[in-house]
Amino acid sequence: MSQAATKTLPQTPPEPVEDPESPFGPNEMRLGAKQWIAFAIAIVLIFLCLPAIWQKLERFDTGPDYRIPYSLSNDYWQIGRWFKKAAEPGRIVVIGDSVIWGEYVNPDGTLPHFLSVESGAPGRFANCGVNGFFPLAIEGLIDNYGTALRNQKVILEADVLWMTSPQRDLSASKKDTFNHTRLVPQFRPRIPVYDADMNERIGAVVERNIRFLSWVSHIQITYFDQKSIPQWTLADDGQSPPNYPNLWRNPASQITMSIPDPPATDPDRGPKSPRHVPWFESGKEPLHYDWVPLDKSLQWQAFQRTLATLRSRGNDVMVLLVPFNEHMIAEDNRPAFRTITGGIDAWLAENKIPHIAPATLPPTFYADASHPLTEGYALLAKNIYAMPEFQQWLKQR
């Protein structure tokens, strides 16, 4: 017999025999109906309970002059947590934009701080202003993250800065970028400058209504430099050639379970900051503003809706029309400004809304068109406390 004849012919593998009881193939394990239901319930519980449990575990220290750190201005879940903590019996919550937050000053140089000084009770006025906010964003914040504010004394800031031009009012026809787009109304009312596709708009609505997604954003903003974990892992250091310092780091080590404190010394704020100077010393001059009439202003309409929402939750709201820096308004442009402020005052009076409109501060006390310096906030607090309407509102239960 030849060597070729002794070679073993290749064997044809047998055809797989289909098990009639395994219609989906050779899976190791398949879930039954009850197991799928249990799995769904577990997922729902995680979505509902994990953010609440996280609040109990994550350390969040505040003092009498606490304000949301600048780095957390987009962390709406955390801002809502601060609102809840600020709404304590006996405290007065002060809501507004960067004028309340204190753009040029330290935490102990803000209006809420000096109002507390005037009251003789440290921390009585809680700083719930947020840097970079405006009425349309504040509306979204109160509607979706400020639901803990109920049956509380609240000071709500009204700032005509947001009606100084159609661009600031967000009613201009030209598309433009602006802060906090995920808080503004995504569909109604229509915001002409807002240029976002349907996917982004729906994503913003879903995130606002599913707390788990807001909590995920909180984790990303607080611990991962406002990035998702994959983005954080692959982030370079900006050098050439680039380095990737996070590539070998354990993402779990970033989660310290503690809200970071703002820097002890902020180079951009406070009396020692180069920005903390009167407006005319930094080269600013009086301007002509393209004032938006109240009946056409999207920001004013948002303010009205926010006020209605706060009052519907049982809050006792005092509107503070913060004094705009009239010294920065050109002389012939001031009548239009007074038409705006007069219209706000008339609407509040007509609707019996408690409100105060302190006088304009001296020019040396402003850093720009709307933000006071530290001395300006101190004087403004004194002026507010001297107003009979404010004292009467404080005494009312």
User: From CA 161, how far away is CA 361, in angstroms rounded?
Assistant: 16
DSSP letter string over 168-237? Answer: HHT--SS----S-TTTS-SSSS--TT----HHHHHHHHHHHH-HHHHHHHHHHHHHSTTS-HHHHHT---
pLDDT of residue 49: 84
> Mean of the pLDDT values across residues 319-337?
97
Per residue in 209-222, pLDDT (tens digit) is 988 999 999 999 99
Per residue in 74-111, pLDDT (tens digit) is 999 999 999 999 998 889 999 999 999 999 999 999 99
The two three-digit tokens of residue 294, written as one number: 């109240």
pLDDT of residue 30: 75
Please tell me the least confidently modeled range out of 196-200, 234-238, 367-371.
234-238
pLDDT of residue 264: 77
User: From CA 3, how far away is CA 19, in angstroms rounded?
Assistant: 42
355-356, strands of its sheet edge to edge: 125-129, 92-96, 153-158, 316-321, 355-356
Q: Find residue 366's DSSP bridge partners.
A: 372
Does the structure show a pLDDT above 90 at 1? Answer: no
Helix (H, G, I), strand (E, B) or coil at 52: helix
pLDDT of residue 391: 96
User: From CA 309, how far away is CA 240, in angstroms rounded?
Assistant: 52
The two three-digit tokens of residue 199, written as one number: 């996917």
143: left (phi over 0), alpha (psi -120 to 50) or beta: alpha
Per residue in 346-391, pLDDT (tens digit) is 999 999 999 999 999 999 999 999 999 999 999 999 999 999 999 9
> Mean of the pLDDT values across residues 9-13?
61
Per residue in 258-304, pLDDT (tens digit) is 998 888 788 899 999 999 999 999 899 999 999 999 999 999 999 99
DSSP letter string over 140-170? Answer: HHHHHH-TT--S-EEEEEE-GGGGSSHHHHT
Domains of the chain in start order, with CATH, are 45-395 (3.40.50.1110)
Per residue in 144-193, pLDDT (tens digit) is 999 999 999 999 999 999 999 999 999 999 999 999 999 999 999 999 99
Q: Which pTM value belongs to this model?
A: 0.88
pLDDT of residue 3: 52
Helices 198-209, 211-223: inter-axial angle, 10-degree rounding? 100
Helix (H, G, I), strand (E, B) or coil at 308: helix
Does the structure show a pLDDT above 70 at 29? Answer: no
User: From CA 10, how far away is CA 13, in angstroms rounded?
Assistant: 9
User: From CA 256, how far away is CA 108, in angstroms rounded?
Assistant: 27
**Mean confidence (pLDDT) of the chain:** 91
Does the structure show a pLDDT above 70 at 122? Answer: yes
Predicted confidence band at 241 (pLDDT cuts at 50, 70, 90)? confident
Per residue in 32-49, pLDDT (tens digit) is 777 777 777 777 777 778
**CA-CA distances (angstroms) from residue 89 to 127, 148, 314, 354, 360?**
15, 13, 14, 21, 32
Counted residue by residue, the chain has a size of: 397
Does the structure show a pLDDT above 60 at 6? Answer: no
Does the structure show a pLDDT above 70 at 53? Answer: yes
User: From CA 284, how far away is CA 138, in angstroms rounded?
Assistant: 28
